[in-house]
Amino acid sequence: MLGRASPWARAFALVLLAATAFAVFAYRESAAERAAVGRAAPDFALPALSGGTVALADLRGRPAVVDFFASWCEVCELEAPVLETFFRRYGQEASVVAVDWREPAREARSFRDRFGLSFPVLRDADGQAAKAYGLTGVPESWVLAPDGTAVAHFVGGVAFEDLRDAVARAAGAGWREGSPLAAPDDPAASIEVAGDGLVVRRASGAAFESDDGGLSWQPRAPSEAETGPAPPSGVRPPEGVVARAVAVAQGVAYLVSDEGVFVSVDGGRSWKPSGFREPLASGVAMRSPGMAMLGEEPLQAWGVALAPSGSAYFAARSGIWVTAGPEGPAVPLSGSPARAFRGLAVSGDALWALAPDGDLYVTRLPASQRAHPAPAGPRMPDAGRLVDAGGGWYRVPVAVGP
């Protein structure tokens, strides 16, 4: 066909073929330079909101998390507490930076201050860093090895546990795991108040007890009849529902399960779904301010504890949730660490939260949630013996004796 075409048509076709070939070549060259798992991460040097410039080279020497976000992104709002929780837990062992994508400084600063972010927040005003990292939407996170090689890439919201596991892979043998109250194949599963002390159980049933507010623990010899926390008397779970945990006080009961949270107002004899729901944000990315399309599903929780006031606290996938009564609604507890907790306990003036890796957190209950006078039970250690976890929460530095 080209041989019978006019000279002008042949010239045009040749130019078009050359342009196409060049575009393909340029695309391949560009793709080869963009970030990818297994490659060296693209360099950047971006201004920080706190002043100065942060470059990729500044992050080398230990694992790093590079997160791209925008202040208008709803999923970014859900992910921000995860990044802050991770930084407060592992900031001595891994770097965390958040990169604001193509926004004025005032917008990025407002977002930082709203969520109390204590790690560096950078500005990618012209989007060139995002382009080098192949950004397709926000949020997106990259986990880098100490030498700058990309080890993991998360498109959309990322959970604390997924981020921790990726950083552990990036760190290799130098990574320090968490509390000795758990093991990789035997996670922490529940916490309860026992007299003046606390008891933690692993999934296998192995138990530990503490009489000093969770600072030191001793293995607890199980009795023949003890396999875990005893279910409250008279409680009958809904037919076909497997209860993860149940709490009852003053005739009101809450049950958490794979199907969501159930509520009973007759002490656990009959139940109805609570209707408590949470946004499904993990893996969801936003590409424009108009794409507010978060789905919802029943609140997923693994533990429940009741305050003397009647408020119920839930150990949920995205942190601690709270409701003032059986009619709801349930909402995230402001400032609580964004982790997938497995157990909760209330004692006197304190709320305890247990993560699956054995990390133990505690906060002082608001005065309106405490019993007066306070009953006997474990008390929070002095703040000087705890690690600040932000939002009024502390992490307990756990030690297990021989």
Q: DSSP string spanning 346-402?
A: EETTEEEEE-TTS-EEEEEPPGGGS-SSPPSS--PPPGGGSEEEETTEEEE--EE--
Tens of pLDDT, residues 109-156: 999 999 999 999 999 999 999 999 999 999 999 999 999 999 999 999
DSSP 1-35: -GGGS-HHHHHHHHHHHHHHHHHHHHHHHHHHHS-
pLDDT for residue 27: 38
pLDDT for residue 286: 86
Residue 230 — pLDDT band, cuts 50, 70, 90? low
pLDDT for residue 280: 81
> Higher pLDDT residue, 321 or 284?
321
pLDDT for residue 177: 66
> Higher pLDDT residue, 82 or 31?
82
Residue 15 — pLDDT band, cuts 50, 70, 90? very low
Average pLDDT over residues 356-379: 84
Three-state DSSP class for residue 312: strand
Average pLDDT over residues 169-187: 84
Most confident of 175-189, 293-307, 331-345: 331-345
Average pLDDT, the chain: 88
pLDDT for residue 231: 63
pLDDT for residue 168: 94
37-41, 144-148, 282-286, 292-296: the lowest-pLDDT one: 292-296
Residue 34 has pLDDT above 90, yes or no: no
pLDDT for residue 348: 80
Three-state DSSP class for residue 161: helix
Report CA 98 to chain centroid distance, whole Å: 15
pLDDT for residue 29: 38
How far is the CA of 102 from the CAs of 18, 46, 194, 284, 367, in angstroms?
34, 12, 53, 20, 43
pLDDT for residue 293: 63
Residue 33 — pLDDT band, cuts 50, 70, 90? low
CA dihedral 189, 191, 192, 193 (to 10 degrees): 160
Q: In a 10 Å sphere around its CB, with 0-12 CB exposed, 13-18 middle and 19+ buried, how is residue 157 labelled? A: buried
CA dihedral 104, 109, 114, 115 (to 10 degrees): 110
Q: List, in sequence order, every beta strand (DSSP E) within 125-206.
A: 140-144, 150-155, 188-194, 197-202
pLDDT for residue 194: 92
pLDDT for residue 147: 96
pLDDT for residue 370: 74
Instruction: Provide the total of helices (H) and of strands (E) in the chain, helices listed first.
Output: 6, 27
pLDDT for residue 324: 92
pLDDT for residue 11: 45
Are the beta carbons of 206 and 186 closer than 8 angstroms? yes
- The CA distance from 330 to 265, in Å, is 17
The tokens describing 129, both together, are 């860093």
Tell me the sheet residues that pair with 362.
Answer: 352, 394
Residue 368 has pLDDT above 90, yes or no: no
Residue 93 has pLDDT above 70, yes or no: yes
Question: pTM of this prediction?
Answer: 0.88
125 DSSP assignment: T
Tell me the sheet residues that pair with 41.
Answer: none
